Structure 1
Amino acid sequence: MQTLQELTRQAQALANGEHVPLSADEQEAARVLNICNGCRYCEGFCAVFPAMTRRLEFGKADVNYLANLCHNCGACLHSCQYAPPHSFAISIPQTMAAVRGQTYQEYSWPRPLGKLYRRNGLTLTLAAFAALSLFLILAVGLGGQGWDALWGAVDFGGNFYNLFPHNLMVGLFAPVFLFSLVALAMGVRQFWRDITPVTGGTPVPPPAAAEAAHNVLSLKYLDGGHGAGCNNEDDAFTLARRRCHHFTFYGFMLCFAATALGTVYHYLFGWSAPYDLPSIPKILGAAGGTLMIIGTAGLWRLHTRRHPEHVLAQQKAMDRGFIALLFIIAATGIILWLTRGTPALALMLCLHLAAVMTFFLTMPYSKFAHGFYRSAALLRHNTEKRLPNPVGLGSE
């Protein structure tokens, strides 16, 4: 593991356009990319390959940029004549996954917390959720209303603010959420600065920004380059991963919209939660939670069946921990809504709040970060491809 001083020197060297030594994972990526650059059979599969053909050498910034441009669809692996067991042992999915994991650690903010990426797996996620659940349950049981509040002996009138006041929840969650946003923003900001010289430092034109947004929202590069989908457990094409990602992403965004609109209702109009159907926050939240449950359940199934060359063994725990946490958040939220007028309200509220707090605490150091780094890489790619090819190799 590199020290903080080494990482700082590397960041300064990148900013100055100096040569930066590659890590072992980056050296392997550069080797693989050089071989792929001579073959180009996979050029139409995704954005990585046309971006690769614009380069004759692959420095640290190039490798980090291309690794985060990769969507790990697996199509190139199953089409590659040099894939294992060939002596070249070309595996773009695994090679790029290793560099992405290193990228998240190196660009984390504060840097020392980058170690959490290596530890933020399924076990840690479930342990944090259990610990926070226990803390909230004890807080309720030892509070003014006593343990009767958990056994249904206290009538909260279906209003969870009678258990945890609104200002208390804001005071608990807002600082953690704001820190997570700042931590993510700082990391992606430095990543953007480092990869910008790779593409000439050209300002982002509006058409490039629009196309990048479309690519992100549609998950364009999970289609295998031909619209039939990507690979999962074998060389058969499937749209299942793309659809499950869509269910999860748009479900999450609907839940976020429900929370944001509820905040507007509370502070601007004085309309306090909880809200009932057919209120807009409730419709958004119910729809979002349902989509997240479907999407994360599908992603879990797909992940457990993935081809071993698509993923790194050491990153499986982080991926599954993130999927499991999103499922728990959605499931406890839906159950809380369905049991709001029953004695189970207090317990379900503790479980749901613990899941949300776990998500906020781990957000900058979990798989959640990959969406931000990938979006930055797509934005840079859609800027770069509008420029003349600097080396005269290939074309879009």
Structure 2
Amino acid sequence: MQTDLRQEARRQAEICNACRYCEGYCSVFPALHQERFFTDGNLTQLANLCHNCRGCYYACQYTAPHEFDLNLPMALAEVRQDSWESFAWPHPLAQIFQKNGVMIAVATVLGFAVLFLAMRTLGSAGGEGFYAVLSHNAMVAIFLPAFLFPLLSITISLRRYWEGTAGKRITLAHIVGAFGSAANMKNLAGGHGDGCNFEDEDKFSNARRLAHQAVMYGFLLCFAATSAGTILHYAFNMPAPYPLWSFPKLLGVPGGILMVLGTVELARLKLKADRNLGASSAWGGEMGFVLLLFLVALSGLLLYWLGGTQLMPLMLAIHLGSVLSFFLLTPYTKMAHGFYRLAALIRDEQRKAALE
């Protein structure tokens, strides 16, 4: 971990601890004000608890040109980004993606799409619908390892995070509290409930909160659709394709639409917001992830609408390429932040429980 980033974050946290003006803004400040000294583990926990809403920066009287030159959102964003790279497994891949996120995402999607098209030229798989392009067994052989690898990688990373932040034994109450905060994006609502200042210092807005919710719930619906299709295939011997009034479609289509709308809005807000209040070196990686998630959702919807046309093999290749890229890159993209943030929320529930 980079010592200079933590030294600067420690300096700013100590000033914030003395001021306490922002105590009700989000979960960061009650946790920050409880500490007298800030260890690397404390700072890592605070950084991952921060949602970068930036309300504290615009309310702060000690920002530049004041001699204290506080920019807590940026300081915590840089520590947060460094912690993801430090805890990631394998470690070198995280650094590479954060520096070249958009390029790597595009190259990976195109590479896998070309590979799937090349497999198509070898001849029909002999099935129906999508399976006429690529057999079910081939899809399982390709995507099962691609699904299991990020789970293993993230599990190792979270274990490192938990040890690094001195996490304690987790109880059901900790999990329920953390999931409650994550479900309604409590920390993106601001201390007053009117939202945050992410895109405009003079305006409170819930736009970023709603966009995150659209992406999160859209992704969960799509995951549920995939799970429903798996159950239908193996438990009821009902292989794809499925009609509109089936669980995979009733869950997947709304989920895809929510993901498209959410990622478009996140990209718009990210382009509008001040880059100097975040980890500027990770901007490309974060935008690359948003665009990759957008492509996964959009290609899935187009594949459904064009499934009966001659464009189906091409759309299937693009969709499978984007999904495979998404899975393999998950531990090194912004997708990993959801797991770290949930871990930070659980750790914060432990902190609050210790005060009772």
Same fold? TM cut 0.5: yes
* Distance (whole Å) between structure 2 residues aligned to residue 368 and residue 183 of structure 1: 13
The structure that has the greater radius of gyration is 1
Q: TM-score normalized by structure 2?
A: 0.96
**1:122 equivalent in alignment to 2:92:** no
Aligned position for 1:109: 89
The answer for the alignment partner of 2:181 in structure 1 is: 215
> Quick check: 2:99–2:281 contact (8 Å CA) kept in 1?
no
Aligned AA (1:124): I
2:220 is aligned to 253
Which protein is richer in helix relative to its size?
A: 2
Q: List gaps (5 residues or longer) in structure 2.
A: none
**Counterpart residue identity of residue 125, structure 1:** A
Residue of structure 2 in register with 1:82 after alignment:
62
Give 1:100-249 correspondences, 5 Å limit: 100-141=80-121, 143-145=122-124, 159-196=129-166, 201=168, 203-235=169-201, 236-249=203-216
CA distance in 1, matches of 2:309, 2:217: 30
Cross-structure match for 1:281 = 248
1:45 and 2:12 aligned? no
Letter in 1 for 2:141: G
Contact (CA 8 Å) 1:255, 1:288: kept in 2 or not? Answer: yes
1:15 alignment counterpart: none
Question: Aligned letter for 1:358?
Answer: S
Q: Quick one: which of 222, 229, 236 aligns to 1:269?
A: 236
Question: In structure 1, what is the Cα distance between the partners aligned to 2:73 and 2:245?
Answer: 45
| Contact 2:88 2:157 (8 Å CA) reproduced | yes
- Structure 1 position 156, deviation (Å): 7.8
Distance in 2 (alpha carbons) for counterparts of 1:299 and 1:388: 36
Query: For the Cα contact (< 8 Å) 1:232–1:305, is it kept in 2?
Result: no
1:340 aligns to 2:340 (yes or no)? no
Q: Which residue of 2 aligns with 1:372?
A: 339
Per-residue deviation, 1:120: 4.8
* Offset of residue 119 of structure 1: 3.4
1:314 offset after TM fit, Å? 1.2
Segments of structure 1 that go 5 or more residues without pairing to the other structure are 3-21, 150-154, 390-396
How many pairs align? 355
> Which of 262, 276, 288 lines up with 1:321 in the alignment?
288
**In structure 2, the residue corresponding to 1:38 is in which secondary structure?**
helix
Residues 32-68 of structure 1, C-alpha deviations (whole Å, 9 max, x = no match) = 1000000000010011111011111111111101100
Q: Distance in 1 between matches of 2:275 and 2:132?
A: 50
The separation in 1 between residues aligned to 2:92 and 2:271, in whole angstroms, is 31
- Report Cα offsets for 1:227-246 as digits up to 9, x if no partner: 10011232210000000111
Letter in 1 for 2:173: P
In the alignment, the residues of structure 1 paired with residue 94 and residue 289 of structure 2 have an alpha-carbon distance, to the nearest angstrom, of: 16
CA contact (8 A) 1:120 1:362 kept: no
- The residue type equivalent to 1:336 in the other structure is L
- Rounded to whole Å, the distance in 1 between the matches of 2:258 and 2:94 is 31
Instruction: Give the C-alpha shift of residue 117 in structure 1.
Output: 4.2
C-alpha distance in 2, partners of 1:85/1:123? 36
Shift of 1:80: 0.3
Q: Encode CA deviations 1:6-49: one digit per residue, 9 max, x unaligned.
A: xxxxxxxxxxxxxxxx6111111100100000000001001111
SS in 1 for 2:244: coil
- My pick for the range that moved more, 114-123 or 67-76, is 114-123
When structure 1 is superposed on structure 2, of 345-354 and 208-217 the one drifting more is: 208-217
Question: In structure 2, the residue corresponding to 1:385 is in which secondary structure?
Answer: helix
Where 1:231 maps in the other structure, the secondary structure is coil
Counterpart of 1:305 in structure 2 is 272
